[in-house]
Amino acid sequence: MAGRSSNKVDGVHETSITIEGDHSTMEEEIHKVCLPPNKTIFQSIKHNFSEIFFPDDPLHKFKNQKPSKKFLLGIQYFFPILEWGSEYSFKLLKSDVISGLTIASLASPQGISYAKLANLPPLYGLYSSFVPPLLYAILGSSRHLAVGPVSIASLVMGSMLKGVVSPTEDPTLYLKLALTSTFFAGVFQTSLGLLRLGFIIDFLSKPTLTGFTAGAAVIVGLQQLKGMLGITHFTPKMQIVSVLSSVFSTTKEWSWQTVVMGMCFLIFLLATRHISIKKPHLFWVSAAAPLASVILSTVLVYVLTPHTSAISTIGHLSTGLNPPSANMLSVSGTHLALALKTGIVSGILSLTEGIAVGRTFASLRNYQIDGNKEMIAIGVMNMAGSCTSCYVTTGSFSRSAVNYNAGAQTAVSNIVMAATVLITLLFLLPLFHFTPTVILAAIIITAVIGLINYQEVIKFWRVDKFDFMTCLIAFFGVIFLSVQMGLALAVGVSIFKILMNVTRPTTVVLGNIPGTQIFQNVGRYGDATRVPSFLVLAIESPICFANSTYLQERILRWVREEEERILANKEQDMKTIILDLTAVTAIDTNGLEAIVEIRKMLDKRSYKLVNWKLQKILELFGGKGLYLTVGEAIADISKRFKIEV
């Protein structure tokens, strides 16, 4: 023990000299940790409030403007068309007409197909491709978003409503429910935007959405076997086991004519899709393919009809514009809750897709999308849509990509598309009479295959194992449980991860990088060396009720392990424990008590505890034992040791 003790004294001398040397060359005085400027409660509440709800400072354009200018800016805020409309030129129109016609060729077949996904009559897909794009052109701020029905929202609405009401047995109630859900979706979306709660969609993280979308794609793809095989009696459930058992229990119903036709067109569609992926400038190949397939198959069936009736067709569609449907927006009791739930889930999903797509193309062209403003636009569009026989719509990823590639410059391409759909609704509907439903199934399969993003999943695995897990949970949840359960599970797991991060914050031992004032994790930086007689611990999270107990236990364990290490290596004793609180950005009452408790426990083992910078701790300790950097702490304390020794 005597040897160790003399070692100790030597060590202290050496250390303090080294550090003192460093210290004197760099700075003479120890910097005071200071209190932040005093804020009144009102000021701090105002600050927090504006950080939560107005992080992007949306009113900054209005600052220092004349009232008349403010009014104009305000009108432009809600109707972006007034902003770009005045500068609209013939050159822009040319681009917009071309892109508008391109997406229109996609819109009709996809609209009809997605309506089928939502278990609605085909016409509602076309209605939904007419009114909403017009409204979005006036209200929306994205220049490339192609608006209309989308697969995910259609699928979710279809599966949630079908679970309670059969679309074949009670089509009127089903339609009422779909329109009411759309109305609620619009109300929900608008409220999120107006209340500036747009950040709620952030809780649908990328892994959640990737897994969810892939799961939904698999289910939808398998469900299309009904159409592809010509089965008439099929399960209404959305779960993989019942879908597959339904397929194989109805082998008698399979129609070979349908299968052959379906497979041919599916291969054709997939081939065009493949071409467009490989050669992006040939985007129009896959964009034109659905319409080409519809025309070709319709002609084929028309020619074949006298010979066979095995292939089911869309049948009669009555021409005419969207009928008003405000009178349909009423359901009672239990159905009201269903409509509300469906509205919220499909509303949030369609919002997520619309905003993500808008942001993607905005970023490519270097303009910004105001999320909350977009929510209001999409919400109003859906509320108005629900009164004009449209079900839930948003910006579609696939059509927006085509729109962008076809050279769309402004939302006018949406107007062109709507005009084309208008012509279809008024004059061209009889042409769809002989369109086989199998072609719709093939279009849906081609669309949903693009939703399975396996590269992204591989990336999750590489970047973050937990993200990978969340993605799998969403995927298998959707496949084996249900669309809603999968989504809820994945969101729950994501939130659980945040809570676990807070509950189990990282604590690391820091060491000095020789010749510098830099302190780094000794487990990571090989040249970071522990400063003898000091234990420097960094806490890397806010300290709050959820982790205060853990931190107490963990710090005591670090101290115990350090004691054991010192004993094993016969190093000099530990005298001071420095808590590096750089990464502790907040502390609550529980956290503060934990610090007091840790200090008390260490005092009993006759260690000194030194923290640095944190307003509340500052108030608690009155500036004693607080330093701005770990380096300063060690320098100052070593100096005092020397005096004591």
Q: Smallest distance from the beta carbon of 285 to its own copies, in angstroms?
A: 29
Residue 512 DSSP label:
E
Indicate the Cα dihedral angle 318, 321, 327, 333, nearest 10°. Answer: 70
Can you tell me the distance from the alpha carbon of 572 to that of 364, in angstroms, rounded to the nearest whole number? 60
Q: Smallest distance from the beta carbon of 552 to its own copies, in angstroms?
A: 9
**Residue 624's CB: how many other CB atoms inside 10 A?**
8
CB closer to its own copies, 16 vs 494: 494
* Residue 257 · residue 308 · CB < 8 Å: yes
DSSP character string of 402-466: HHHHTT--STHHHHHHHHHHHHIIIIIGGGGGG-BHHHHHHHHHHHHHTT--HHHHHHHHHH-HH
Q: Smallest distance from the beta carbon of 485 to its own copies, in angstroms?
A: 20
CB closer to its own copies, 32 vs 94: 32
CB closer to its own copies, 312 vs 501: 501
Q: Smallest distance from the beta carbon of 348 to its own copies, in angstroms?
A: 15
108: CB partners within 8 A, 6+ apart: 126, 129, 291, 294, 420, 421, 424
Q: Are strands 534-539 and 576-580 parallel, antiparallel or unpaired?
A: parallel
CB closer to its own copies, 297 vs 352: 352
CA dist 18 to 11, 66, 493, 635, 638, Å?
Answer: 11, 63, 49, 9, 10
Q: Smallest distance from the beta carbon of 100 to its own copies, in angstroms?
A: 28
Six-digit token pair at 350?
């369609």
Can you tell me the distance from the alpha carbon of 547 to that of 588, in angstroms, rounded to the nearest whole number? 11
CA dist 433 to 309, 422, 429, Å?
Answer: 14, 18, 7
Q: Smallest distance from the beta carbon of 546 to its own copies, in angstroms?
A: 5
CB closer to its own copies, 200 vs 300: 200
CB closer to its own copies, 131 vs 546: 546
347: CB partners within 8 A, 6+ apart: 184, 185, 186, 188, 189, 379, 382, 392
CB closer to its own copies, 34 vs 303: 34
CB closer to its own copies, 173 vs 488: 488
Q: Which residues pair with 376 in a beta bridge?
A: none
Burial 538-558 (b: 16+ CB within 10 A, else e): bbebbbbebbbebbbebbeeb
Q: Smallest distance from the beta carbon of 220 to its own copies, in angstroms?
A: 25
CB closer to its own copies, 115 vs 369: 369
Q: Smallest distance from the beta carbon of 278 to its own copies, in angstroms?
A: 25
CA-based nearest residue to 153, from 433, 381, 342: 342
Q: Smallest distance from the beta carbon of 37 to its own copies, in angstroms?
A: 7
* Residue 351 · residue 193 · CB < 8 Å: no
Q: Smallest distance from the beta carbon of 603 to its own copies, in angstroms?
A: 10
The 3-class secondary structure across 139-204, one letter per residue, is: HCCCCCCEEECCHHHHHHHHHHHHCCCCCCCCHHHHHHHHHHHHHHHHHHHHHHHHCCCHHHHHHC
Can you tell me the distance from the alpha carbon of 16 to that of 26, in angstroms, rounded to the nearest whole number? 15
* Residue 606 · residue 576 · CB < 8 Å: no
CB closer to its own copies, 58 vs 163: 58
Q: Smallest distance from the beta carbon of 388 to its own copies, in angstroms?
A: 32
Q: Smallest distance from the beta carbon of 289 to its own copies, in angstroms?
A: 31
Can you tell me the distance from the alpha carbon of 248 to that of 268, in angstroms, rounded to the nearest whole number? 26
CB closer to its own copies, 239 vs 521: 521
CB closer to its own copies, 379 vs 505: 505
Radius of gyration of the chain (CA): 32
Q: Smallest distance from the beta carbon of 299 to its own copies, in angstroms?
A: 46
* Residue 322 · residue 111 · CB < 8 Å: no
Q: Smallest distance from the beta carbon of 363 to its own copies, in angstroms?
A: 7
Can you tell me the distance from the alpha carbon of 488 to that of 227, in angstroms, rounded to the nearest whole number? 30
Residue ranges in 252-282 assigned as alpha helix (H): 256-278
For helices 283-304 and 90-117, the axis angle rounded to 10 degrees is 50
CB closer to its own copies, 554 vs 642: 554
CB closer to its own copies, 36 vs 306: 36
